[in-house]
Copies of this chain bind each other. A is one copy, B any other.
Amino acid sequence: MKIIDCEVIDLRVPTSDQLLGSDPFHKEPDYSSAVLHLKTDSAYQGVSVVFTVGAGTDWLCYGIRDLCQLVVGTTLEDFAASPFKLYRRLIDHHQLRWLHDGVFRMAAGAILNAMWDLWAKQQGKPLWKLLVDLEPSFIADCIDWRNIQDALTREEAIEILERQRSGLSARENQMSEVGPKAYCTAGWLGLSDEDILATIHRLQEQGFDSFKLKVGRNSQQDVARIKFMREAIGMKSNLMVDANQYWGVDEAKEHLEAFRPYGLKWVEEPIARDDVLGYVELAKTFSTASFDFACGEQAASPVIFKQLLKSGAIKYCQIDAVRVAGVNDVMAIILMAAKYEVPVCPHGGGIALCNMIQHYGMWDQIAVSGHSDTQLVEYIDFLQDSVEHPVATTNGHYVTPKAHGWGLEFVPEFLDRHRFPEGEAWKDRSPERKGARFEV
């Protein structure tokens, strides 16, 4: 099966009309995606998305289109024989690698993820099942070991995977209808107390017992909200807070002192995404607190994850599906987390991130670290009417995805309506808004 063409779509939803998903930094996000369709000489196409928050989606589309030159003309059989060859061809391209992480690594991830999607479809399997069925040594061959072996060797990775072979089918059966446990953000910054209560009750009725709250801007308000949430959910439910990198290290220490009494499970992104030593310091300072630290949704490379895991600075590993270079990088991170016994709690939300991370949750719990309800997978049902295979939960757990590949197909009308800037959703907006250049 040959890759013969690519289509890259700049898809943007004007979610900032309702301030959906806003945080202290991303004040008016328009949930967006660079959507890649790799066309083949068969009926199959490889699909992937890179989530963004509006302006800049075009930068990613530009990069992905350029990188497609490195995959158009190749075959699925080449890829399936060695996914690492394509990884190297992209990530280690001797000129493009100068572009560093960020746009470049995300664009490379888009190509890799679309190829993995294609392979899973051709095999007639959801992505998680494709991964579960791979040989341990094949998985090890997919990974770039150069910069991470001081934390995890190839041999250790294979050992971890071999160890889970016993009981693997039982776990696969067990999880074939009910997937990983899910958690939800109930406390968005903009919501009133009443809104939050209503959200909590709705989620509790659906079987959720783990809730997250956004914090950061005002210490007194944060503490009041934490108290309020804790009272609403009771002591038995999990309560987590997320500061979206709003603080410096000393500032974080100061704020977090006031968070000690409320039995928080984790504090997410208290400081900058690349401040490894800052995390080490926070972990030491709060070693006796109820909470541990979580981060990763904006960690740009496996090397950052390596340090956070090896040092014990984070106790929850929040992989993102589209920030690093696709399945290959994420598998490396999940295996490192398994070695250091840090539960993988993937970052969801955006457009279609949950649709992707559920596969990683499945693979991790069936084939890598083993199933447990400490591995919470973020669940946000934003924009699920936009996709052919929406995520769903049952009794607070993901419903196991059955569609082949990632299951990332968008509803065609949705895709057409939100093409930027020519789609219906955008064409009557002011030029400033369309340019997404408005200051907030």
Interface residue ranges, A against B (CB under 8 Å)? 25-30, 52-56, 58-60, 62-63, 66, 69-70, 89, 92-106, 145-150, 248-251, 271-278, 281, 298, 300-301, 303-304, 306-307, 310-311, 323, 435-437, 439-440
Q: Which of B102, B307, B323 contacts A103 (CB 8 A)?
A: B102
CB-CB under 8 A for A28 and B94, given A102-B104, A300-B100: yes
List of B residues within 8 angstroms of A58 by Cβ: 62, 66
Q: Check A277–B276 contact: CB distance below 8 A.
A: yes
Q: Is the interface of A mostly helix, strand, loop or mixed?
A: loop
- In chain B, what residue has the closest Cβ to A278? B150
In whole angstroms, how far apart are the Cα atoms of A92 and B53 in the complex?
Answer: 13
Extra A-B contacts (15), CB below 8 Å, given A56-B99, A147-B272, A277-B311: A26-B97, A30-B95, A53-B94, A53-B95, A53-B98, A56-B66, A56-B98, A56-B104, A99-B102, A100-B101, A100-B102, A100-B323, A147-B271, A150-B250, A274-B300
- In chain B, what residue has the closest Cβ to A27? B94
A-B CB proximity, top 5 nearest? A102-B102, A54-B95, A100-B102, A150-B249, A55-B95
Q: Which of B97, B102, B273, B437 contacts A69 (CB 8 A)?
A: B437
Q: Which of B54, B101, B250, B437 contacts A300 (CB 8 A)?
A: B101
List of B residues within 8 angstroms of A89 by Cβ: 439
Q: Check B30–A437 contact: CB distance below 8 A.
A: no
CB-CB under 8 A for A301 and B274, given A66-B58, A95-B26: yes
In whole angstroms, how far apart are the Cα atoms of A310 and B59 in the complex?
Answer: 34
Q: Check A29–B103 contact: CB distance below 8 A.
A: no
**Closest CB in chain B relative to A284 CB, distance in Å:** 13
- In chain B, what residue has the closest Cβ to A308? B277
List of B residues within 8 angstroms of A439 by Cβ: 89
In whole angstroms, how far apart are the Cα atoms of A166 and B44 in the complex?
Answer: 72
Q: Check B28–A149 contact: CB distance below 8 A.
A: no
22 contacts between A and B (CB under 8 A): A26-B97, A52-B98, A52-B99, A55-B93, A56-B104, A58-B66, A59-B62, A69-B435, A99-B102, A99-B103, A101-B102, A101-B274, A102-B105, A102-B300, A146-B272, A147-B271, A147-B275, A150-B248, A150-B250, A272-B303, A274-B300, A276-B307
List of B residues within 8 angstroms of A105 by Cβ: 102
**Closest CB in chain B relative to A314 CB, distance in Å:** 13
Q: Check B100–A277 contact: CB distance below 8 A.
A: no
Q: Which of B26, B249, B275, B276 contacts A94 (CB 8 A)?
A: B26
List of B residues within 8 angstroms of A60 by Cβ: 99
In whole angstroms, how far apart are the Cα atoms of A96 and B301 in the complex?
Answer: 19
List of B residues within 8 angstroms of A95 by Cβ: 26, 28-30, 52-56, 436
List of B residues within 8 angstroms of A275 by Cβ: 147, 303, 306-307
List of B residues within 8 angstroms of A30 by Cβ: 95
**Closest CB in chain B relative to A23 CB, distance in Å:** 10
- In chain B, what residue has the closest Cβ to A298? B100
**Closest CB in chain B relative to A160 CB, distance in Å:** 19
List of B residues within 8 angstroms of A145 by Cβ: 248
In whole angstroms, how far apart are the Cα atoms of A27 and B98 in the complex?
Answer: 12
In whole angstroms, how far apart are the Cα atoms of A28 and B96 in the complex?
Answer: 11
